[in-house]
Copies of this chain bind each other. A is one copy, B any other.
């Protein structure tokens, strides 16, 4: 709920989630539909039937007064931080196991080629917005203003990651050059040996071998 201050069906919601705010929230239809039903039963949403051009009848939900109260209370809560379990970082963390810097480099390139287009997409979204909205950056409606804040967050996040990617790729390349010159692997100090004993947990394998994270 919360997206339902304007009426929408479960299907609509999925579209918003995928295209509008995909960079910080996602959900599957199989999760959305039961949730809508439960929230309606709790009196936080109300629904009505509506026709549809193609396909079966839609069920359009909207937030109730009670729902708004709940929503406001939730918004006044302290910020809630998710768990950020960045699997690809765990992969890099352990990637020395492969002793294969070219692979590390390739891996970083893959990260870049995922994020770069997403950053572009967010920038384009902003640009298009600025065209169609006359009071773009400074005279947005309150709702649009808050939405724009989250859009900017996405940009800063992707930008940071991409900067890191470039830095890392430079460093990996430098290290590869050095290895080639010496003809020797570089390892001098076993950092893990003194204080920074860092091990990597079972969790990595628990997460299974799925190749794509959305």
A199 and B4 within 8 A (CB) = yes
Q: A152-B167, A205-B70 are in contact. Are A2 and B90 (CB under 8 A)?
A: yes
Chain B contacts for A196, CB-based, 8 A: 20, 76-78, 129, 147
List A103-151 residues whose CB lies under 8 Å from chain B: 103-104, 107, 110-111, 114, 129, 132-135, 138-147, 149-150
How far, in angstroms, from A111 to B86 measured CA to CA in the complex? 20
B81 and A17 within 8 A (CB) = no
Chain B contacts for A23, CB-based, 8 A: 84
Chain B contacts for A212, CB-based, 8 A: 78, 80-81
A83 and B26 within 8 A (CB) = yes
Task: Answer whether residue A51 sits at the interface, using C-beta atoms and an 8 A cutoff.
Answer: no
List A47-95 residues whose CB lies under 8 Å from chain B: 68, 70-95
List A158-198 residues whose CB lies under 8 Å from chain B: 159-161, 163-164, 167-168, 171, 174-175, 178, 185-192, 194-198
Of the candidates B13, B81, B146, B157, which one forms a contact with A88 in the assembled complex, judged by CB atoms under 8 Å apart?
A: B81
Interface residues of A (CB under 8 A from B): 1-6, 8, 12-13, 16-17, 20-21, 23-27, 31-32, 35-36, 38-39, 44-45, 68, 70-99, 103-104, 107, 110-111, 114, 129, 132-135, 138-147, 149-150, 152-153, 156-157, 159-161, 163-164, 167-168, 171, 174-175, 178, 185-192, 194-207, 209-214
Report 20 cross-chain contacts, Cβ distance below 8 Å, ordered by A residue.
A2-B94, A2-B202, A3-B199, A4-B199, A16-B197, A25-B90, A32-B201, A32-B202, A74-B205, A79-B88, A83-B213, A83-B214, A84-B84, A134-B189, A143-B187, A145-B175, A153-B164, A156-B160, A157-B161, A160-B161
